[in-house]
């Protein structure tokens, strides 16, 4: 009898997990995924490295990068694994969002949005573009999941309300994000020098190592989340989902007689209009960067680069010879 191939063994293991109650979701218990998106050069890589205790200088993220972390649970107990994904380029690579978020990973997936507080004119459009693109894709994946596993999709839809109390005063106004979401305001050391009126607008979390590590560890390894809260606008805000309300946030800092002149469909829309009046948004390109990563010095490899130069020269020579051939054809005609 021929021995089983590695593929057959792996397939049997996945099917076995499905029959044991995981319903074939393809995700082993103890494995979670955290997806970092946000402002270009906003500090996403630095946060990941610090959370993983990696003492190395951060490099610019080219497009979509992956790394992982482990956490020991006890002696002779398998370690929990967390998968970390990072989207580079700010809002220029939105189509890459679909790669890490799949029906297999969705049920253990979280998003961390990092916004650069030192660039308030870019902050709102960056947030809006990234969250809308992510939500559109997640909604599609949930619909797809519902077709083959309606129970799992239903549980996900119910879970998004788990942080919201049934008697929360804003319950009717809220459209919760479909998967766990954390928003981190980076570069607070620069932001804190802004005048107090401007600082009223941005929800921010100071980039203190312990506080950020605690938030990320909760997403990545299921560690109990912090119950602390700070809503003092003169300090770095720290607000857990479901513990804030529109009455606590209050109205935007504009004269009362001007509030009625602003056409807004919701409290969020009202804040957006006032925010953009104070911080006019710059035009953020959602097109791919035209910079050629093959010529980026941080990815230099001598042998590969020499071969690339040779192939580029051969290509140019081919183009010239082809051009001559086409011209000859035109002359003959």
CA dihedral 251, 257, 260, 262 (to 10 degrees): -80
Tens-place pLDDT, residues 266-305: 888 888 988 988 899 876 554 445 466 666 676 778 888 8
67 has a pLDDT exceeding 60 = yes
Distance of CA 120 to the CA centre of its chain: 19
Is 14 in a helix, a strand, or coil? helix
Tens-place pLDDT, residues 86-123: 999 888 889 999 999 998 888 889 999 999 988 999 99
pLDDT of residue 332: 57
Q: Which two tokens stand for residue 248?
A: 């606590």
Across residues 230-246, what is the average pLDDT?
81
pLDDT of residue 31: 83
Across residues 34-49, what is the average pLDDT?
90
Across residues 173-188, what is the average pLDDT?
87
For every residue of 53-117, DSSP letters joined together read T--S------SEEEEEEEE--STTSPPEEEEEEEE-STTTTGGGGGTT--TTTGGGEEEEEEEET
| Confidence category of residue 17, pLDDT binned at 50, 70, 90 | low
126 has a pLDDT exceeding 90 = yes
132 has a pLDDT exceeding 90 = yes
> For residues 299 and 293, is the Cβ–Cβ distance under 8 A?
yes
Across residues 3-8, what is the average pLDDT?
74
Q: Which two tokens stand for residue 128?
A: 């809006």
Phi, psi of 235 (to 5 degrees): -125, 165
pLDDT of residue 150: 86
Angstrom distances, CA of residue 289 to CA of 19, 106, 286, 313, 333: 46, 28, 9, 24, 42
pLDDT of residue 158: 84
> For residues 216 and 34, is the Cβ–Cβ distance under 8 A?
yes
* Alpha carbon distance 83, 112 (integer Å): 13
225 has a pLDDT exceeding 70 = no
pLDDT of residue 97: 93
Instruction: Work out the percent of the chain whose per-residue pLDDT is above 70.
Output: 75
Lowest mean pLDDT among 1-10, 24-33, 224-233, 235-244: 24-33
62 has a pLDDT exceeding 90 = no
> For residues 200 and 36, is the Cβ–Cβ distance under 8 A?
no
pTM of the model as a whole: 0.70
What is the total residue count of the chain? 333
The runs of H, that is alpha helices, within the chain are: 6-17, 44-51, 120-148, 150-159, 188-191, 196-199, 209-221, 246-249, 256-259, 267-278, 302-332
Closest CA to 242 of 319, 311, 161, 186: 161
* Alpha carbon distance 305, 294 (integer Å): 8
Q: Which two tokens stand for residue 309?
A: 């130069």
Q: Which two tokens stand for residue 47?
A: 């946060």
pLDDT of residue 10: 76
| Edge-first strand listing for the sheet containing 64-71 | 64-71, 80-87, 31-38, 109-116, 181-186
| Confidence category of residue 15, pLDDT binned at 50, 70, 90 | low
| Confidence category of residue 165, pLDDT binned at 50, 70, 90 | confident
């Amino acid at each position: 009898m021929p021995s089983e191939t590695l593929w057959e063994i792996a397939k049997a293991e996945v099917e076995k997990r499905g029959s044991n109650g995981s319903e074939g979701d393809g995700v082993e218990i103890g494995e979670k995924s955290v997806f970092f998106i946000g402002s270009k050069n906003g500090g996403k890589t630095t946060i990941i490295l610090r959370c993983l205790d990696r003492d190395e200088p951060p490099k610019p993220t080219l497009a979509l990068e992956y790394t992982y972390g482990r956490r020991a649970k006890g002696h002779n107990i398998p370690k929990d694994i967390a998968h970390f994904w990072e989207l580079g380029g700010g809002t220029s690579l939105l189509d890459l969002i679909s790669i890490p978020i799949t029906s297999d990973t969705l049920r253990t997936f979280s998003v961390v949005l990092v916004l650069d507080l030192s660039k308030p004119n870019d902050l709102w459009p960056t947030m809006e573009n990234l969250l809308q693109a992510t939500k559109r894709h997640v909604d599609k994946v949930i619909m797809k999941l519902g077709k083959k596993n309606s129970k799992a999709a239903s549980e996900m839809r119910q879970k998004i309300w788990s942080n919201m109390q049934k008697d929360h005063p804003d319950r009717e106004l809220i459209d919760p994000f479909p998967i766990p979401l954390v928003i981190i305001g980076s570069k607070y050391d620069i932001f804190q020098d802004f005048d107090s009126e401007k600082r009223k607008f941005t929800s921010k979390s100071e980039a203190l190592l312990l506080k950020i590590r605690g938030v990320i560890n909760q997403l990545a390894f299921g560690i109990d989340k912090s119950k602390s809260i700070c809503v003092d606008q003169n300090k770095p805000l720290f607000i857990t989902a479901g513990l804030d309300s529109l009455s606590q946030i209050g109205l935007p800092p504009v004269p009362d007689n001007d509030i009625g002149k602003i056409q807004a469909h919701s409290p969020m829309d009202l804040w957006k209009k006032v925010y953009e009046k104070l911080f006019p948004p710059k035009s953020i390109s959602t097109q791919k960067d035209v910079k050629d990563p093959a010529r980026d010095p941080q990815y230099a490899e001598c042998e590969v680069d020499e071969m690339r130069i040779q192939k580029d020269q051969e290509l140019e020579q081919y183009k010239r010879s082809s051009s001559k051939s086409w011209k000859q054809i035109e002359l003959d005609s």
